[in-house]
Amino acid sequence: MRSLVGTRQLVRFVLRRERLRLAIWVAALTVTPVGTASAFIGLYPSEVDRERLAATVGSNPALVSFLGPIYDSNVGALTAWRVGTIGSLLIGLMAVLTVIRNTREEEETGRRELLGSTVLGRHASLTAALVVASGAGLAAGGLIAMGMMGVGLPASGAIAFGVGFAAAALVFAAAAGVAAQLTEGAGAARGIAIGFVGFSFLLRVAGDGGEASGIGWLSWLSPIGWFTRLRPFASERWPVLLLFAGLALALGFVSYRLSSRRDVAAGVIPPRPGPATAAAWLRSPLALGWRLNRPSLFGWSIGLAVIGMVYGSVADGIGDMLDESPQLAQIFEQLGGAGGITDAFFATAMGIIALIATAYAIRSVLRLRVEEESLRAEPVLATATPRLRWVRSHLIYAVVGPVVMLAIAGAVAGVTYGAITGDVAGQARKVIGAALIQLPAVWVVVGVAMAIFGVLPRLTSVSWGVLVTCLLLGQLGQILQFPQWSLNLSPFSHIPRLPSADINLVPLLVLTAIALFLTALGMRGFQRRDVMS
């Protein structure tokens, strides 16, 4: 136990650093499901209403693929279905970010060394990060369980629901613990761990979407799939918790083994020496931006291509489900034919891909602030580099990056689906269109982030809040019957739902104009303000 000396103090220290961030996370994670449950109670008071809802959405294969199967039509089960997947994604994100920030990032910045020279065991820092991240998960789970009971739902379901959240946090925290041992850079470690969370989501999407094609077992490989299969409020299957426990313990074991074999600040994957001189093309701010943004652009593009492929292959299974149910086929016939449901599926899928591409874009804008804050912008701006040229060298990734990603994801999804149905060219064109039409909305968020960076630089990270707001409005707004004006706040709500809808140029042009205006505002602001850390 010598290796754990000082963990208690470190836990307090980590809590002190993270208290505001974690409080916001836990509050958001609690309010979302509890609010959804109470909204369901208000909006669908009678059993008949809920059964009708469950029958409609539960038979919509696109929704089943994104959100998982519906197991019962009571309020609890509907809530668990609606927010279970997105909730476990978000709590996973919270766990990953907390663990990496307090392990690998501390090592990369050298702050870990300052602490390591005091009386501190070898594993204390990893343990403290895992304890805090899991603790936050447990707190959220506990509050969710109490909240669900508070709105009058059965205790056993509420507990299963809360425990499921906590278990997801535990598993993803342990996964981040492993990722933190692998690389020297915190960015790469974060990428690996978030990739694991995303991969879990995709396995579930593929499994639940491909139930008819016999790949339903994929969901059983995913912690997010386990959460669904815990079946809160629908005769809970408690043994599923053993899967969470087993994986968390295994990942925890691996992370401690790796941690005891490596030096502080070193990774398991050793760094290699690089070139002694800069390549001939590395001679402009733009080239530096390319060098800095290249790894993440490739990583995110590959990730979105994989998501696109999953969506493309799932889309065909959705058509199959309709074949099995003539009544359903009839319903969708009225909505625009059997093609209507795949079109709707692709519209939703590309909307989700657009949100992910927006996350990349925000990250690219925020990189300006990171460069400024870390004082790396200063030596560049002290050369013959005009300020706006430096801004553009990063902003271009926020503007063009999503174009590339949406085009790739749309192409891969369309080609995959087209290859199955025998219409590659036609489907690819349709789905790429559905993807690219999202761009004006993405750019509006980029504009907001840029305006904040230029005018109120210390608040730049508020941009993430803009994305989360768009996400929640888009995901929950309609089913919880938010007022229309609030739904309209999200730029994504104005995007025509291609491929089935008609292209309406007016909202696209207005959104692009807003994006341009906000970006110009931010650039002007940056040109007039002090460079500050």
Residues in contact with other proteins by CB under 8 A are 108, 184-185, 187, 271, 273-279, 282-285, 287-288, 291-292, 295, 374-376, 378-387, 530-532
Contact 341, 319 (CB under 8 A): yes
Nearest approach in angstroms of CB 385 to other proteins is 6
The half-sphere exposure of 432 on its side-chain side, counting CA atoms within 13 A, is 15
Nearest approach in angstroms of CB 129 to other proteins is 20
Q: What are phi and psi of 382, to 5 degrees?
A: -85, 0
- Tell me the longest C-alpha to C-alpha distance in the chain: 72
Nearest approach in angstroms of CB 520 to other proteins is 20
Nearest approach in angstroms of CB 393 to other proteins is 11
**Rounded to whole angstroms, how far apart are CA atoms 198 and 8?**
32
Q: What is the DSSP letter of 531?
A: P
Nearest approach in angstroms of CB 295 to other proteins is 7
Q: Which of 313, 62, 91, 53 is nearest to 197 (CA)?
A: 91
The half-sphere exposure of 375 on its side-chain side, counting CA atoms within 13 A, is 0
Q: Which residue number, 293 or 493, has a Cβ lying nearer to other proteins?
A: 293
Q: Which residue number, 267 or 522, has a Cβ lying nearer to other proteins?
A: 267
Nearest approach in angstroms of CB 188 to other proteins is 9
Contact 443, 520 (CB under 8 A): no
Nearest approach in angstroms of CB 278 to other proteins is 4
Nearest approach in angstroms of CB 391 to other proteins is 14
Q: Which of 4, 236, 232 is nearest to 128 (CA)?
A: 4
Enter the tokens of residue 324: 């099995």
Nearest approach in angstroms of CB 354 to other proteins is 28
Q: Which residue number, 72 or 371, has a Cβ lying nearer to other proteins?
A: 371
Q: How far is CA 283 from CA 280, 291, 295, 353, 383, in A?
A: 7, 11, 19, 34, 12
Q: Which residue number, 157 or 285, has a Cβ lying nearer to other proteins?
A: 285
Q: Which residue number, 142 or 185, has a Cβ lying nearer to other proteins?
A: 185
Nearest approach in angstroms of CB 277 to other proteins is 5
**Residues in Cβ contact with 377 at an 8 Å cutoff, skipping those fewer than 6 apart:** 368, 371, 390, 531
Q: Which residue number, 37 or 377, has a Cβ lying nearer to other proteins?
A: 377
Q: Which residue number, 42 or 386, has a Cβ lying nearer to other proteins?
A: 386
Q: Which residue number, 108 or 236, has a Cβ lying nearer to other proteins?
A: 108
**Rounded to whole angstroms, how far apart are CA atoms 210 and 317?**
5
The half-sphere exposure of 258 on its side-chain side, counting CA atoms within 13 A, is 22
Q: Which residue number, 385 or 512, has a Cβ lying nearer to other proteins?
A: 385
Contact 442, 407 (CB under 8 A): no
**Alpha carbon 233 to its chain's center:** 26
**Residues in Cβ contact with 186 at an 8 Å cutoff, skipping those fewer than 6 apart:** 100, 101, 104, 105, 107, 108
Q: Which residue number, 360 or 492, has a Cβ lying nearer to other proteins?
A: 360
Q: Which residue number, 261 or 376, has a Cβ lying nearer to other proteins?
A: 376
Nearest approach in angstroms of CB 395 to other proteins is 18
Q: Which residue number, 109 or 484, has a Cβ lying nearer to other proteins?
A: 109
**Rounded to whole angstroms, how far apart are CA atoms 424 and 312?**
11
Nearest approach in angstroms of CB 382 to other proteins is 4
DSSP 35-98: HHHHHHHHH--SHHHHHHHHHHHHT-HHHHHHH------SHHHHHHHHHHHHHHHHHHHHHHHH
Nearest approach in angstroms of CB 6 to other proteins is 25
Q: Which residue number, 237 or 387, has a Cβ lying nearer to other proteins?
A: 387
Nearest approach in angstroms of CB 464 to other proteins is 22
Q: To the nearest 10°, the Cα dihedral for 87, 88, 91, 92?
A: -150
Q: Which residue number, 185 or 525, has a Cβ lying nearer to other proteins?
A: 185
Helices assigned H by DSSP within 279-386: 285-324, 326-334, 338-373, 377-381
Q: What is the DSSP letter of 236?
A: -
Q: How far is CA 231 from CA 103, 134, 228, 339, 425, in A?
A: 34, 22, 6, 32, 41
